[in-house]
Structure 1
């Protein structure tokens, strides 16, 4: 035994000496090989040349670590397993009532409607009722709808706080599950950690079936940490829907409120689009196949509407192209309310062209953002639009998390998506496009209310800005592909 140990120690000593002498000759080719592999992979799979250049530079300048970061954050491994398992059945909406695009009242928006229809492969549905609500009221309406549910409640959200906003909703979901309602709750794997302890334990204790999207406690088993499900959906009894930008957080219900937001209550055939998206995400997460057929009235209202499901999978780039088309279709005005505005160059160019065309562009962003880096980058981007004639308004606290857009007083977009790289390329988002004058008027009234309490920032304000602030904002904007 002693001879064996002696031999083993001698072998280890010799191996150590050999590695000490030749480690550079071993490590260097491995590092170069990894860098070459990443460069080839980036060139083949990255559509954005700036992102491709950034990743290529990182893996060559920071060997090994750059390759590791690319494997964790840069490789898109997502496939919509739900579509594979169902044979595409979730994408089939034969029961949905569609309407011809030529019935859209504003002629300049008919081309937009046809384009989004081809992009999403979903019909523009007629006969919907869409009502906008501030966050506090929306949370109350959602809990009330759950208490009135008879058959099913499907809910997906990014953040579900275990707090003053989340607990009443948990109690309503628990009561629904206790009376035999099919309750399914989908939380994002990262978003669920915003509230500790997580609300998942409280939900499961109440008999609610809850799953986490792209979640693993082991980082090495979690190759999707940069791809988040940011959608906010609730569908009750396959007839009533809620969607928008609102998470479930106590900041909405405290006195005074710490956050403002908008959410929509939906009735009509467009609820089928919410069902389709939730069913696909649920199948992807846990393999259970849910019925995605709308079972409500065909014409409870007059709004023409369509869901836009976007993400880094088969739905890649649908949101960015929709925004690009909507901006291009505008003839009179574009009004945008968003908490995070760091768009890519294509959307910036589209807005600049709209300004040159004589379209009035109004932007409303928070005066004080909850993400400082994003705020600095946003101000740098907005500077060029203001210089081109856009009207910029900084809304007063509390922080406004609302995400809406109107075009020419007839087209409305609302949903979970922001104007940044994360929403445009990495997140799974759900937006709703609506063609309706009265709804646009309601949303524009809400925008007017925000502008009334906001401070306008014009070209003179940017020129008076301290030099170091300009440099800080410009440096932050260089991170635009990653914000």
Structure 2
């Protein structure tokens, strides 16, 4: 047998290479929705025998088949989460905000699993100091259950403070579940996972494990969601990971900025459903029964604030955030204000933005001057000209790095949460955002962005073109790899 292998190994390798390439090429052809993406991957697979198929298996498969999870929601007890009396009608939105926002509401109804609900409340937490303190307080006051899902959970003083609050809750009999992304869990060495498990907290990692590595063929897919739900009554959602660098307490004046949100009302049920679904996917445990029941909602149906949980990710909800943004840009009449640390929109979003700008909509985009990901910053700089030459404005905020993800349309509609405007958030990551229809809240987001613009530096086409050619060329080369940065 060994002699046979030695004699014919080139032929065997050729047959294996052809079979692997055929399978990978068929998969790319049948699953990719963009012809350019399909052609590109088939080219990589065919031109790099075996290695190309391996690269595709690691970085090219961008959808997890989780349809069975949605089908099992009722078995998991999720049928108890609905509060139909708080569901918002098209007529209410049209009467209060106009037909265009009623059309946007209908879009959300058709592309998400969750309804737009009324009688919600939302608080803006403008710093890590505020957000972490509020989270610790919610954990300490929990009477029945706490679930936390996050991308990064560092084992630093802030991480240990929150971990100790979770451990204390578990010791007093509270049902506690913690889910951390398999990539994000490795940002600290040693990981916080062992500390939590040692303290008696049920902890798991998403799409992989700390020791064995990432889960193939989905190694490029991550949960970027930041969710905390206590007692089914209060939820926290936003862009904030758990890291000491986002607090003035530990980082001083150089602390990075971010924005997080505390939410109450019927929308909490849907936020919990998203986290519970992810926990079931990772740990195989259904969260139902008395500890996980959603509290009876208070407030008058149809009363402000109107809100919807918008989960998106490489499963049945793929590109939901992308579709919501396309719809929002299409109904804008006066202003679109965007704040994102990583601004790398695809061609469709760029077209939607620039079309709105040509209609006379004032579009302002704020990105950091100081970015924590230099390669991403260089890649997005290479793309700035696509929007600048089409009547949009871009601003570089001054001061420390700002990780906030904020968007407001006409001071009426807001979209806030964990999604960046880049390929990873729009296609590869599991994200959660909040659609908020309320002039008070959207006006606050609008004002927050305007305040930052007041001290920001405007980016112009002239300043981009004045940069040395080798620098601009390097930016464009990095831009080519932007889908996987």
Normalising by the residue count of structure 2, what TM-score does the alignment of the two structures yield? 0.92
8 Å Cα contact 1:81-1:284 kept in structure 2: no
What is the alpha-carbon distance in structure 1 between the residues aligned to residue 350 and residue 341 of structure 2?
17
1:445, distance to aligned residue in structure 2 (A): 2.2
| Secondary structure of 2:414's aligned partner | strand
Matched, 1:283 2:276: no
Is 1:388 aligned to 2:390, yes or no? yes
Instruction: List aligned pairs for 1:56-67, cutoff 5 A.
Output: 56-67=42-53
Which stretch of structure 1 is more off in the superposition, 45-54 or 84-93?
A: 84-93
Matches within 5 A, 1:274-313: 274-291=271-288, 293-299=293-299, 302-313=304-315
- For the residue of structure 2 that corresponds to 1:212, the secondary structure is strand
Q: 1:138, 1:263 within 8 Å by CA — same for their partners in 2?
A: yes
Within the candidate set 153, 160, 168, 1:167 is matched to: 160
Distance in 1 (CA, whole Å) between partners of 2:150 and 2:484 is 22
Where does residue 90 of structure 2 map in the other structure?
101
Does residue 246 of structure 2 align to residue 252 of structure 1? yes
Change (3 A) 1:80 1:90: farther
2:70 corresponds to: 83
For the pair 1:48 / 2:45, whether they are aligned, the reply is: no
| Unpaired runs of at least 5, structure 2 | none
Q: Is the 1:81–1:283 Cα contact (8 Å) retained in structure 2?
A: no
1:110 aligns with 2:102: yes
CA RMSD of superposed structures (Å): 2.0
Match for residue 339 of structure 2? 337
Q: Which residue of 1 aligns with 2:185?
A: 192
3-state SS in 1 of match to 2:435? strand
468-477 or 58-67: which moved more?
468-477
- Larger Rg, first or second structure (1 or 2): 1
Q: Distance in 1 between matches of 2:464 and 2:214?
A: 45
| Counterparts in 2 of 1:309 and 1:16: CA distance versus 1, 3 Å | closer
Report the Cα offset of residue 425 of structure 1: 1.0
Aligned partner of residue 190 in structure 2, secondary structure: coil
Q: Answer with 176-185 or 24-33: which moved more.
A: 24-33
In the alignment, the residues of structure 2 paired with residue 68 and residue 109 of structure 1 have an alpha-carbon distance, to the nearest angstrom, of 45
TM value normalised by structure 1: 0.92
* SS of alignment partner, residue 256 of structure 1: helix
Q: Displacement of 1:467 after TM fit?
A: 1.6
Contact 1:268 1:296 in 2 (8 A): no
Given candidates 243, 257, 262, the residue that maps to 2:259 is: 262
Shift of 1:124: 0.8
Instruction: Tell me if 1:25 matches 2:6.
Output: no
SS in 2 for 1:385: helix
Q: In the aligned structure 1, how far is the partner of 2:312 from the partner of 2:160?
A: 30
Residue 275 (structure 1) shift: 0.8
Matched with 1:74 is: 60
Distance 2:362 2:343 in 1: 18
Secondary structure at the residue paired with 1:126?
coil
After superposition, the Cα gap between the structure-2 partners of 1:221 and 1:283, relative to the gap in structure 1 and judged at 3 Å, is closer
Q: 1:256 to 1:102 in 2, by over 3 A?
A: same
Q: Match of 1:313, SS? A: coil
Offset of 1:209 from its aligned partner?
1.3
Q: What is the count of residue pairs matched by the alignment?
A: 469
Partner residue in 2 for 1:360: 362
Secondary structure of 2:297's match?
Answer: coil
1:380 is paired with a residue whose SS is helix
- Residue 77 of structure 2 contacts residue 287 of structure 2 at CA under 8 Å; is this kept in 1? no
Structure 1 residues not aligned, in runs of 5+ = 1-10
CA distance in 1, matches of 2:440, 2:335: 16
Equivalent residue runs for 1:212-227 within 5 Å? 212-216=205-209, 217-219=211-213, 222-227=216-221
